[in-house]
């Protein structure tokens, strides 16, 4: 699967203060009145009644099983009380809405291509806008029903606090794809939020994303890069001579299509740099090359112990037969995200023409064939349309904070240059990866740090966090001063 999807799949989450929301959303261009329930979470322990801000933490491309334990919401212990850093500082409520189609927010009972026609970033943004209005509920219940007839009202913040006519300042947050949604929400609905934090936000849809592989090589350094390239070459040679044996060595004998297998191996390497653990991969591989050991066997050990063992990734995730499965199950998110990839954003992580680490067989043809085999001949990623709609890295928004880690292969799909009212900060350190400002480093499924103590340069990360707080303080103050919930 596209490795971006792993951000939400592997991170340990904890449900805090669960409350279900019955949302009825008009699909398409308000033509289909089909209704479905959309799940959300809230945390109010540090909320400053009545005028504290509301932080909308956007859930991305996986089941939303709670409010993540990151810099917005740090959790002490396992699934215990949320000790918020930003929420506590600003006296904010934290709410998080599950992305349509993922988790329990299911519009249909199967994921046929026809049923996926309402799965898009645009629809997700409208869901967020409707939810924001629902949750704020500035009007009383009878007025609300007149204004929002397609919402099934359960309970809103104003109703819960027995008040009317109050508008709180809102601020949106997201990381990776949800980071892009955060930026796009501020772009498309500036009247509904005071600002946005877009961490590692992949706002640029890219057809052939060769920069992904190039960044891995740069982050790896000369020795590790050479070892990885030699490993890829050896794997390709063994695929040609004894395909079954080499796939079995990696615990991936079920991957019949060579491209699926080679994509699995490419992602396994990328994960080390993306999530701030480069030494887990490079140290044993470089040493093995110096000692004349079998690089393929050393890499297979890393893949099975770290990528599959620690991250819990199954090779089946890369099997196109698995991606064709339209029944609802715990792995449905794989098919859903591939649909978004194949229709909207691509992010095809292809091998560069020269000096690539991943196999040259992982090319645009492989990705396009996958899209058509899994979803049908008419499927094609409308990258230009997506970038025209949102602006790509030339996004014409305001009051959006962009952050990226220097070693993150996704940073080239994000906005890395500041522009008026849209600062962009890059955290530079040996293990500064994806979402480092929010999740710290190093990162693994069961040890997500909400601070910077394990980063190669803690000061670099803390400096960016301080700049984030300064901007949030300014923009929220401007909202308070104007008496509005947005600016």
DSSP codes, 8-41? HHHS-----SEEEE-----BTTTTB-----EEEE
Mind listing the pLDDT tens digit of every residue in the chain (487 residues)? 565 555 444 333 333 333 433 333 433 333 456 788 899 988 888 899 888 999 999 999 999 888 866 666 543 332 223 236 899 999 999 999 999 999 999 999 999 999 999 999 999 999 999 999 988 874 334 334 444 444 444 456 666 666 666 789 999 999 999 999 999 999 999 999 999 999 999 999 999 999 999 999 999 999 999 999 999 999 999 999 999 999 999 999 999 999 999 999 999 999 999 999 999 999 999 999 999 999 999 999 999 999 999 888 999 999 999 999 999 999 999 999 999 999 999 999 999 999 999 999 999 999 999 999 999 999 999 999 999 999 999 999 999 999 999 999 999 999 999 999 999 999 999 999 999 998 888 765 545 445 678 889 999 999 999 999 999 999 999 998 887 666 6
Output the pLDDT for position 416: 98
Rounded distance between C-alpha atoms, residue 230 and residue 477, angstroms? 55
Which helix H or strand E contains 465, and what residues bound it?
Answer: helix 458-482
Catalytic residue among 5, 322, 412, 434: 434
- The question of whether 434 is a catalytic residue gets the answer yes
For strands 195-199 and 400-405, give the pairing: parallel
Distance CA 259, CA 263 (A): 6
User: Which is catalytic among the residues 156, 176, 200, 315?
Assistant: 176
Angle at 233 between CA 230 and CA 239, to 5 degrees: 140
d(CA 332, CA 359): 27
Per-residue pLDDT of 40-71, as tens digits, reads 988 888 899 888 999 999 999 999 888 866 66
In the chain, the domains with their CATH numbers are 3-203+467-482 (3.40.50.1820), 207-382 (no CATH)
The gap between the terminal CA atoms of the chain, to the nearest Å, is: 38
Alpha-carbon span 190 to 398, nearest angstrom: 8
Tokens 């949750």 found at: 135
For 165, counting Cβ atoms within 10 Å of its Cβ (0-12 exposed, 13-18 middle, 19+ buried), the class is: exposed
Of the residues 70, 213, 408, 437, which is catalytic?
Answer: 408
User: Could you tell me whether strands 54-57 and 170-175 are parallel, antiparallel, or unpaired per DSSP bridges?
Assistant: parallel
Alpha helices in 341-457 (DSSP H): 364-375, 383-390, 436-439
Alpha helices in 27-120 (DSSP H): 86-90
| 176 tagged catalytic | yes
Per the annotation, the verdict on 421 as an active-site residue is no
Q: Give buried/exposed letters for 246-261 (b at 16+ CB in 10 A, else e).
A: bbebbbbebbebbbbb
pLDDT single digits (tens) 146-196: 444 444 444 566 666 666 667 899 999 999 999 999 999 999 999 999 999
Task: Name the token pair of 466.
Answer: 């301080």
- pLDDT tens per residue, range 303-316: 999 999 988 899 99
Q: Tokens 């063992």 label which residue?
A: 309
């Amino acid at each position: 699967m596209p490795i971006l999807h792993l951000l939400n799949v592997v991170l340990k989450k904890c449900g805090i203060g669960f409350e279900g929301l019955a949302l009825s959303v008009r699909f398409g261009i308000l033509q289909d009145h089909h209704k479905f329930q959309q799940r959300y979470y809230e945390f109010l322990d540090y909320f400053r009644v009545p005028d504290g801000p509301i932080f909308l933490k956007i859930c991305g491309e996986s089941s939303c099983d709670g409010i993540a334990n990151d810099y917005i919401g740090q959790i002490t212990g396992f699934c215990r009380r949320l000790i918020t850093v930003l929420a506590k500082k600003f006296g904010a409520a934290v709410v998080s809405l599950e992305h349509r189609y993922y988790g329990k927010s299911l519009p249909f009972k199967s994921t046929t291509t026809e049923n996926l026609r309402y799965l898009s970033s645009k629809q997700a943004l409208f869901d967020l806008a409707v939810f924001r209005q629902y949750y704020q509920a500035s009007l009383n219940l009878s007025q609300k029903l007149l204004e929002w007839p397609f919402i099934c009202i359960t309970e809103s913040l104003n109703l819960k606090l027995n008040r009317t006519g109050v508008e709180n300042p809102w601020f949106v947050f997201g990381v990776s794809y949800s980071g892009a949604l955060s930026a796009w929400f501020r772009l498309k609905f500036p009247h509904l939020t005071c600002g946005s934090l877009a961490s590692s936000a992949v706002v640029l849809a890219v057809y052939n994303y060769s920069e992904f592989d190039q960044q891995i090589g740069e982050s790896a350094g000369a020795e590790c890069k050479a070892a990885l390239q030699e490993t890829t070459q050896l794997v390709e040679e063994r695929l040609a001579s004894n395909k079954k044996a080499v796939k079995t060595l990696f615990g991936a004998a079920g991957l019949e299509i060579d491209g699926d297998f080679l994509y699995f191996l490419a992602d396994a390497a990328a994960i080390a740099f993306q999530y701030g653990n480069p030494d887990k991969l490079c140290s044993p591989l470089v040493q093995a090359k110096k000692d004349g050991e079998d690089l393929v066997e050393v890499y297979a050990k890393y893949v099975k112990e770290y990528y599959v063992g620690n991250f819990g990734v199954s090779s089946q995730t890369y099997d196109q037969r698995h991606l064709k499965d339209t029944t609802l199950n715990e792995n449905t998110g794989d098919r859903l995200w591939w649909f978004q990839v194949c229709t909207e954003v691509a992010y095809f992580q292809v091998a560069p023409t020269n000096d690539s680490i991943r196999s040259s067989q992982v090319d645009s043809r492989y990705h396009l064939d996958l899209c058509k085999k899994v979803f049908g001949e008419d499927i094609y990623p409308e990258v230009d349309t997506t970038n025209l709609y949102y602006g790509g890295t030339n996004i014409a928004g305001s009051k959006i904070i962009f952050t990226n880690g220097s070693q993150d292969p996704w940073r080239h799909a994000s906005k890395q240059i500041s522009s008026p009212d849209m600062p962009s900060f890059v955290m530079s350190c040996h293990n500064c990866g994806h979402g480092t400002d929010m999740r710290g480093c190093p990162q693994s499924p069961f040890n997500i740090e909400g601070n910077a103590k394990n980063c190669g340069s803690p000061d670099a990360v803390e400096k960016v966090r301080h700049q984030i707080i300064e901007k949030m303080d300014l923009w929220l103050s401007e909202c308070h001063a104007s008496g509005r919930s947005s600016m």
